[in-house]
Amino acid sequence: MARVLRIGIVAGEVSGDTLGAGLIRELKSRFPQAEFVGICGPQMEAEGGRSLFPMERLSVMGLVEVLGRLRELFGIRDALVQQFTEAKIDLFIGIDAPDFNLRLDHLLKPKGIPTVHYVSPSVWAWRQGRVEGIRQAVDLVLCLLPFEKKFYDEHAVQAEFVGHPLADSMPLVHDTQAARRQLGLDADAEYIALLPGSRGGEVSRIAGPLFEAAKLVREKRPQARFIIPAINAARRADIETHLAAAGLEARIFDNSLGAGVGRLVMGSADAVVLASGTATLEAMLLKKPMVVAYRVHWLTYLIARLLVKSRFVTLPNLLADEELVPELIQHAATPQRIAAETLRWLENEKYREGRLRHFAGLHESLRQNADVRAAEAIARLLQSSVEKS
């Protein structure tokens, strides 16, 4: 009878849950007896992952905001190390959440446990000195983006570019009308999607400017209608409060439509105005005009200004190494600037079509069958570990 393969796995937010679910599925196809335990979201649990702590306890935004949660996070980390050690896991996979998972890597690797970090931290953009710690603590980095592997190769860190699962799962040509039918929207209306974020802190900082910008857009384009996704009841309540304060009418779609409500709303829109994050990649893969606006705690922003080395913060711009998408960060995220950039997308056909062609090319470059490639890379690491032991 084949020995049970025990894999520790930790995801910190919804995007990591999606990656983890695909990875668990592919690894189980190769190792049917494998067990997965750690911190899992609902998608990972549906594939057989067992969660020791709620995933949302790791979901903390910003450098300053995490300080109030340090004691709890350290407690979770220490409990996981104890559980993984007692269970004698064969491998640890940390999915994103680098500030948490890389600390786990540092504690687990000296115990002889091979370590994998899935989704490179933005070490190429800021705090580049972390690469030395990654080299010491991580046996394999699985990169979603091609320029990340190049960075690790230059620093002698074992890494594989596996592509992005979102690019695999989303069609090269998006059907906007099908998305509108799912939401019960008018086929011929002009819709602008507003995405002020999935966390309470994000919504509190960016919803006001986004909704004021929407009012300015409507002054120029009275036909415009606004649609907003809300991932849970708490975010819906936050959004409704800010809409009332702005005096803006918009239709809110909540998670009763499923975990993909944000993508469905973006997929129905003629343009998207959103907070920075993974949603910018989704909007690019949907070939949607977008404006990115983001604000963080003022101290987080000042620290980031000192440390960030990258020219851009949004994924489409990082992939293209040029500004395909307007980035309005902190003080630049004013209603006037947001509205002006949204109107440029809607009113300048040459500007719009040129950038959307770039989006299509970037989509193709990321379609690498990521779940399979990631599982294959991990299988090779496991085989190598067995041969060395």
Range of the domain at 40: 6-163+368-388
360/373 same-domain check: no
243/270 same-domain check: yes
156/173 same-domain check: no
For residue 62, tell me if it sits in a domain. Answer: yes
Q: Report pLDDT digits (tens) over 44-83.
A: 999 999 999 988 877 654 444 555 567 888 899 999 999 9
For residue 49, tell me if it sits in a domain. Answer: yes
Q: Tokens 């799912």 identify what position? A: 182
For residue 233, tell me if it sits in a domain. Answer: yes
129/216 same-domain check: no
For residue 159, tell me if it sits in a domain. Answer: yes
104/52 same-domain check: yes
CATH code of residue 303: 3.40.50.2000
325/180 same-domain check: yes
For residue 284, tell me if it sits in a domain. Answer: yes
261/274 same-domain check: yes
43/155 same-domain check: yes
Q: Report pLDDT digits (tens) over 209-253.
A: 999 999 999 999 999 999 999 988 888 999 999 999 999 999 999
Low-confidence ranges of the chain (pLDDT < 70): 1-2, 59-69, 124-128, 257-259, 298, 301, 303-309, 387, 389
203/98 same-domain check: no
Q: Report pLDDT digits (tens) over 218-227.
A: 999 999 999 9
55/102 same-domain check: yes
337/213 same-domain check: yes
For residue 115, tell me if it sits in a domain. Answer: yes
For residue 1, tell me if it sits in a domain. Answer: no
181/264 same-domain check: yes
**168, 204, 227: which is closest to 297 by C-alpha?**
204
Total domains present in the chain: 2
For residue 384, tell me if it sits in a domain. Answer: yes
